[in-house]
Structure 1
């Protein structure tokens, strides 16, 4: 479960605006979610955050 420090605002907003990315994120393991959150915390521009959300949306789970 995601701890009290939660999602970075930019990631949360990006997921809320991209239904596919939100669905993909919800299918990730807790470890995968933590890796994404850590990457999002390191994003320094809107473009980097947008790329993280796009990458999530482009993932395929089987």
Structure 2
């Protein structure tokens, strides 16, 4: 889950090529450094994110 949230936060669209059918440019993507926290920290981060998502949904209602 942590990796999914991290990749979504990266907004990979900015690395897409500007062709008729946009694709991710591998040359740009391989330069991205992805920090990998210890598993327990990943679990803590995901729990915090999911708690905030619930809170935000309550605000919208």
Query: Smaller-chain TM-score range?
Result: 0.3 to 0.5
**Higher relative contact order, structure no. (Cα contacts within 8 Å, ≥ 6 residues apart):** 1
Give TM-score scaled by structure 1 length.
0.37
Rg (Cα) greater in structure: 2
Give TM-score scaled by structure 2 length.
0.37
